[in-house]
Amino acid sequence: MKRLLLSPKFLLIWGIVVLAVPNIALSVTEKQTWLTALCNAFLPTSLYALLLTSTRYTGKAAWWAFPLTFLAAFQVVLLYLFGSGVIAVDMWLNLVTTNATEALELLDNLVPGLITVFGLYLPLIIISTIQALRHKKLPKTWQRTTRLLALGGLIVGIGLYIACLRQPTFRTLKDIYPVNVVYNLKLAIERTIKTARYRKTSANFSFESTNTHASDSAEVYILVVGETARAGNFQLYGYKRETTPLLQGERERLMVYPDVLTESNTTHKSVPMLLSAISAEDYDSIYHQKGIITAFREAGFYTLFVSNQRPNHSFIDFFGEEADEAYFLKSKDTEKEHYDLELLPYVANALKQHKRLFVVLHTYGSHFNYHERYPDELAHFLPEANADAHYKNRESLLNAYDNTIRLTDQVLHRLIAMTDSLPTALLYTSDHGEDIFDDQRHLFLHASPNPSAYQLRVPFIISLSPSYRSTYPEVETILRSNLKQPVSSNASVFHTMLDLAGIKSPYHRDSLSLASRHYKVRERYYLDDHNKKIPVTQLHLDDEDRNMLKGNNIYPF
């Protein structure tokens, strides 16, 4: 066995096979045509073989192929996690925007996938290292034969590729691994460079905001951005469990919009769209515009931003730091868990000092690991003990997730109570939803290359205080008249908040504001990995998703 493992022949075969694993897997998971699937197998695999036989020192050649080994290992982990999709641009960006704690929480629950990866690729690295150090050589006959077979396969692959180019849906940068992954990495690097230049490219931007409300009036506007909260697990949306008992008691004053979809299932894109005038239709403008906080500051409001997430030099940070006061609860320490209820004292303190106030709260909400998002004494649904991310543990996972919604219920209820004596408008929505092993697909988490309806449908709730309703009665009338309208959360938040506060700006669009009589039903879009707007109707949704978005089978417990 030892002689076999240290044989250059074995290393050659093992290297070709494990490097080709993603090609074979993606040919199945991406539901490619048979022609594309064959091309995706023959062309890259032949090139792998030519690379590994470029020298008789196979151990050295295998190390030359290390970038491909890394990509293959990363790809296999993502296929285990999401079941489909190549390494996306957003996934590359997640490597630099996800904090270490979140990453470790996720890795703890990917043990089977990681075992598979280590079993496939760790031996390749170890054996190639040993053989490189021992200067082991591949027999000339093996090198010659393998290269001839590889050249034959390459010729077949090129023929298949030429045939694929005649298919109207075929795209090299989308369908051929690892070309697609390397292209996505290139895009991720370009976006990172643009993001790093943001402060310079947006320095001279202005919303030219003006306020039409009386300048001496005491008014408070609060935007609460939820994290990973899906609409269907809110009691307010007809869920069978008591996940929002406090808000349920105030149901008559709330405007709960039932048909709201996010335009992105990733935090690093969805939250910046919620915090700005940017939407899926003009996302690249994000590098040149400032956020909603600046619009309120220009209109004379004192602004406060408080986040229960760690700063990561992203647009969330940039837009938040535009505030007069900006706080990140998790910036000073990495060990202590902060719960969303800890955001409230910052609001209470600001209310004592400022009468015209705009507050943005970025919660940690329902982000995995769910059971760590609330204190033990607030665990209502049991059992909710720490459970691995596996279908067999769905009961515990769902219990913990529903407990996070109950904590959100408390946060919103307390915010409403502390501002009820002032003219106040509060808007709550979430960046995206979540999969929790809900059906036979066994999907979990969010940010998958192909979003599900569970990830797309989000809560969207507006609360107006009694004094606000008495001062601006027509606003509530308009908001309620738009209750049944289809809404894109990312497109509507900015324009709705400006209307609630009576702010005018050249960047404001009546047609996107739920507080405007001119709100128009329009095509809803999803921002894909390459930042292209895709009509929701053209997404590759499964039947379960289509039925859900049509209003059928809404999140059964």
- pLDDT of res. 215: 81
- Give the other-Cβ count within 10 Å of 162's Cβ: 10
Could you tell me the residue ranges of all domains in the chain?
2-194, 207-549
- Strand 254-256 with 460-464, pairing: antiparallel
Q: What CATH architecture is 207-549? A: 3-Layer(aba) Sandwich (3.40)
- pLDDT of res. 430: 98
312 in Cβ contact with 102 (< 8 Å): no
- pLDDT of res. 110: 65
pLDDT tens by residue, the chain, 557 residues: 566 567 999 999 999 999 999 999 999 999 899 999 999 999 999 999 999 999 999 999 999 999 999 999 999 988 888 888 899 998 888 776 665 555 555 555 566 778 888 999 999 999 999 999 999 999 999 999 999 999 999 999 999 999 999 999 999 999 999 999 999 999 999 999 999 999 999 999 999 999 999 888 899 999 999 999 999 999 999 999 999 999 999 999 999 999 999 999 999 999 999 999 999 999 999 999 999 999 999 999 999 999 999 998 899 999 999 999 999 998 755 567 899 999 999 999 999 999 999 999 999 999 999 999 999 999 999 999 877 788 889 999 999 999 999 999 999 999 999 999 999 999 999 999 999 999 888 899 998 888 999 999 999 999 999 999 999 999 999 999 999 999 999 999 999 999 999 999 999 999 999 999 999 999 999 999 999 999 999 998 888 888 877 754 443 33
Q: What's the angle, vertex CA 198, arms to CA 192 and CA 201, rounded to 5?
A: 130
- pLDDT of res. 551: 59
- Helix 394-418 with 344-353: angle, nearest 10 deg: 10
Cα-based distances in Å from 79 to 22, 27, 28, 29, 84? 9, 12, 11, 8, 5
Cα-based distances in Å from 422 to 298, 303, 355, 462? 22, 17, 9, 16
Tokens of 196: 């790093």
456 in Cβ contact with 232 (< 8 Å): no
- pLDDT of res. 380: 97
Beta strands in 212-291 (DSSP E): 219-226, 254-256, 260-261
Residues 6 or more apart in contact with residue 476 via CB below 8 angstroms: 255, 464, 469
Tokens 């959360």 locate to 489
pTM exceeding 0.85: yes
